[in-house]
């Protein structure tokens, strides 16, 4: 029988949602609902799952929420963006996680997260790029970086390593993207106390005072109400603020403009958006590169990473990721079917700039208004970092091992100007922070160290939007670790054994 009341309702079945669904349904007395706007293709099965979501070699775009700029991509499917991402399994520097202590009364730091990060790597079956898959392009990148004095990193995630070049670890089993729906949801699917409510768009939360009583969802049969003792928001960095705003929680002026009820004003909702900003250095693939990679679509597009320190690095650890790429161009539909391209993508890993996410309207299908604010920091720190990275990318391209594979295209000096950097800016697909953890008196903070939204009794945030500081890494592993730890922190208080209400 399909339930309509749950002890815990997890809203958003993405990377974090799948982890929390697993962890909180371990207690068979806890009725858990997992609401997902997109489809659920069920247990891992090569026949049932769309090939593009299984193919780990490139990020897939066929399940995107809204057509639009690549930097706003996010997937609408069980597994969320973990089901279409690049499978890079990277960790931040210990200092990144230690910086969370200031936002959590000391309870989140590297020591607290470390076991969860390690567990995420094991559950997601992280493995190195197999020697047989390594392309001549990426072998040449390693040689070029070493020639410039960057150390070769046997393990790009080793905690003591500060800079260097190495092969990227991937959460892939063979060529299959091993995302959180397979790693976390599948092992829990048979539990009678867990129900996946797919193709159901969360419209708004219903409140009685400070307590959420339920969630209105829109599905194929129209709108219906799901009730819950506790709600955990896992709609992602772009999805949580619009849902809260439609529900009457957010900056008062924004709620009024939207025409939403002003139930729980909270200025930080949707603020503090941060992603790793980036610029590209496009190269001209030479005949030798075409010959070396006759079918680029058959290989992992991004196999190596260069971690480097800029001239304004704030500690001894990298603040730049350079992603070397030799891959087919993206076509208009977002599929990688075009001719071979080559280049370096330079990413600012500890950016100062901040942006925001707002609901576009009260219509839950309308795309959110996303302002990344890339390179808008007043001090110009982020621009300096990216230009240092672009300089390094030029040096790499000129090196003996790469110059024979791809030619430099013009990069005129005007491109260093602020206006040009702003116009060319892109992201790295790692948005975090729009429902950030922090003390109640911090206007930018939205949730406490247990993810509970300030001012609300039973609404929590459980995903990437909770991160108060972006790690110097791709964000999937950290998101999974955050959700896993929240699972431990919240399990006792959400347990159905507490008898607040029966699962019906």
Q: What are phi and psi of 339, to 5 degrees?
A: -70, 165
Give the residue ranges of DSSP H helices in 124-172.
136-147
Q: Determine, following the binding rule CB under 6 A, whether residue 236 of this chain makes contact with ligand FAD.
A: yes
Task: Report the Cα 94 to chain-centroid distance in Å.
Answer: 19
d(CA 140, CA 154): 16
Q: Is 277 in the site for ligand FAD (CB under 6 A)?
A: no
Tell me the residue number closest to ligand FAD, measured at CB: 14
Decide: 469 and 96 in contact? Cβ < 8 Å.
Answer: yes
CA distance 395 to 383: 18
65 CB-side CA count, 13 A: 25
**Among 358, 429, 449, 468, contact with ligand FAD (rule: CB under 6 A):** 429
Structure tokens at 74: 């996010």
User: What x-and-dash track marks residues 434-473 binding ligand FAD by CB under 6 A?
Assistant: -----------------------------xx---------
CB of 171 to ligand FAD, least distance (A): 8
Candidate ranges 8-16, 252-260, 312-320, 373-381; the one touching ligand FAD (CB under 6 A): 8-16
Q: Which stretch binds ligand FAD (CB under 6 A): 42-50, 84-92, 312-320, 350-358?
A: 84-92
- Minimum separation from the CB atom of position 12 to ligand FAD (A): 3
Taking CB under 6 A as the binding criterion, the range among 232-240, 276-284, 287-295, 405-413 that sits at the site for ligand FAD is 232-240
List all residues 6 or more positions away from 304 whose beta carbon is below 8 Å from its beta carbon. 138, 141, 142, 165, 166, 167, 168, 324
Rule CB under 6 A: say whether 35 interacts with ligand FAD.
yes
Site for ligand FAD in 41-80 (CB under 6 A): 59, 73-74, 76, 80
Interface segment toward ligand FAD; rule CB under 6 A; list 10-18, 137-145, 377-385, 394-402: 10-18
| Token duo for residue 474 | 């791709």
Note whether 364 binds ligand FAD by CB under 6 A: yes
C-beta closer to ligand FAD: residue 33 or 38: 38
Give the residue with the Cβ less far from ligand FAD, 56 or 150. 56
181 binds ligand FAD (CB under 6 A): no
* Nearest-approach distance from CB 173 to ligand FAD, in angstroms: 15
* β strands within 174-221, DSSP E: 176-177, 194-197, 201-208, 211-219
Q: Which of 446, 476, 484, 490 binds ligand FAD (CB under 6 A)?
A: 476
Q: Please say which residue, 181 or 405, places its beta carbon nearer to ligand FAD.
A: 181
* Residues 413 and 245 sit within 8 Å (Cβ to Cβ): no
Number of shown-chain residues binding ligand FAD (CB under 6 A)? 41
- Using the rule CB under 6 A, is 358 a contact of ligand FAD? no
Both tokens of 311, joined, read: 């001239």
Q: How far is the CB of 167 from ligand FAD (least distance, A)?
A: 14
HSE-CB at 278 with a 13 A cutoff on CA atoms is: 25
Q: 32 is written with which tokens?
A: 């858990």
Kindly provide the residue ranges of all beta strands, DSSP E only, lying in 95-151, ordered along the sequence: 126-127
What does DSSP say about strands 304-308 and 320-328: parallel, antiparallel, or unpaired? antiparallel
> For residue 325, what are the contacts with CB-CB under 8 A and spacing of at least 6?
301, 302, 341, 342, 343, 344, 345
Q: Does 96 bind ligand FAD (CB under 6 A)?
A: no
Contact residues: ligand FAD, CB under 6 A: 11-17, 35-38, 59, 73-74, 76, 80-82, 84-88, 90, 201-202, 234-236, 239, 243, 364, 429-430, 463-464, 474-477, 479
């Amino acid at each position: 029988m399909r339930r309509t009341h749950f002890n815990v309702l997890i809203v958003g079945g993405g990377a974090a949602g799948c982890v929390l669904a697993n962890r909180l349904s371990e207690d068979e007395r806890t009725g858990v609902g997992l609401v997902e706007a997109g489809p659920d293709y069920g247990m891992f099965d090569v026949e049932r799952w769309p090939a593009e979501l299984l193919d780990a070699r490139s990020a897939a775009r066929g399940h995107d929420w809204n057509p639009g700029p690549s930097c706003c991509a996010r997937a609408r499917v069980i597994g969320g963006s973990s089901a279409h991402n690049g499978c890079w399994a990277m960790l931040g520097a210990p200092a990144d996680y230690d910086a969370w202590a200031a936002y959590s009364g000391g309870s989140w730091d590297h020591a607290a997260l470390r076991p969860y990060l390690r567990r995420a790597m094991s559950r997601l079956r992280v493995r190195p790029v197999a020697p047989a898959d390594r392309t001549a392009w990426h072998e040449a990148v390693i040689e070029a970086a070493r020639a410039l004095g960057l150390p070769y990193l046997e393990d790009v995630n080793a905690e003591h390593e500060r800079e260097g070049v190495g092969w990227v670890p991937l959460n892939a089993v063979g060529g299959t993207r091993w995302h959180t729906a397979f790693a976390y949801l599948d092992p829990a699917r048979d539990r009678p106390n867990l129900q996946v409510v797919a193709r159901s768009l969360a419209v708004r939360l219903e409140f009685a005072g400070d307590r959420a009583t339920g969630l209105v969802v829109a599905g194929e049969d129209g709108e219906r109400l799901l009730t819950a003792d506790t709600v955990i928001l896992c709609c992602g960095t772009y999805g949580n603020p619009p849902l809260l705003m439609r529900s009457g929680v957010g900056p008062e002026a924004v709620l009024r403009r939207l025409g939403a009820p002003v139930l729980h004003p909270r200025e930080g909702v949707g603020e503090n958006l941060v992603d790793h900003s980036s610029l590209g250095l496009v190269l001209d693939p030479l005949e030798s590169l075409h010959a070396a990679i006759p079918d680029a679509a058959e290989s992992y597009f991004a196999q190596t990473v260069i971690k480097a320190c800029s001239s304004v690095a704030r500690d001894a650890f990298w603040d730049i990721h350079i992603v070397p790429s030799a891959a087919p161009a993206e076509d208009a539909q977002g599929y990688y079917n075009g001719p071979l391209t080559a280049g370096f993508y330079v990413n600012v890993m500890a950016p100062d700039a901040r942006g925001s996410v707002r609901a576009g309207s009260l219509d839950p299908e309308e795309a959110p208004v996303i302002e990344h604010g890339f390179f808008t920091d007043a001090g110009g720190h982020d621009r300096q970092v990216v230009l240092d990275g672009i300089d390094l990318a030029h040096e790499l391209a000129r090196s003996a091992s790469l110059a024979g594979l791809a030619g430099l295209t013009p990069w005129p000096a005007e491109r260093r100007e602020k206006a040009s950097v702003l116009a060319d800016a892109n992201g790295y697909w790692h948005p975090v922070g729009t429902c950030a953890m922090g003390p109640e008196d911090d206007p930018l903070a939205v949730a406490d160290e247990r993810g509970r939204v300030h001012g609300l009794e039973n609404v929590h945030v459980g995903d990437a939007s909770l991160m108060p500081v972006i790690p110097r890494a791709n964000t999937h592993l950290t998101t999974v670790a955050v959700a896993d730890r929240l699972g431990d922190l919240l399990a006792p208080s959400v347990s159905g054994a507490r008898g607040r209400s029966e699962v019906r």
